[in-house]
Amino acid sequence: MGEIADMMLGGEMCEMCGVPLDGEGYGAPRYCSKSCARDRGASMEQVEGWSKKPTQDAFLLSLAARLTKYGYTVEIKTPYHFRVNNCLDVYPQNRKWHDIKQNKRGEYEDIFRFAKQFFTAK
């Protein structure tokens, strides 16, 4: 076999399109994207950088989606900073909050219980 074919089968290059992949190959074909893996009929575990575990950003954004589902208006400033109902800034990564109308700050244990308490007290 040629050198490029060996690199593709060894996981140093995408087996489908030949793009060089980060890191050392581990002796099995890998792919640069989901579409390359899908075209070859490979599993998603072989896609470079793919993980079954959700990323921290995805988890934090799912919190914003759940707050919206519970009837709150959520403006996502960053994955680490949400504005809820135009008056409460929430920083879920640190479990901190800031009432931008009254300039009060604090910490919370559970974002959903805290939001319910915060908005029923107003």
Residues 5 and 11: their CA atoms lie apart, in Å, by 10
Q: Write the pLDDT tens digit of every residue in 98-108.
A: 999 999 999 99
Q: So where are the chain's domains?
A: 3-46, 56-120
If you average pLDDT over residues 73-91, what whole number do you get?
Answer: 93
pLDDT at residue 30, as a whole number? 85
Amino acid at 53: K
Quick one: DSSP state of residue 30? B
**pTM for the whole structure:** 0.56
Q: Write the pLDDT tens digit of every residue in 2-59.
A: 888 888 888 888 888 988 888 777 677 888 888 888 888 887 777 766 655 557 777 8
Amino acid at 71: G
3-state secondary structure of 97: strand
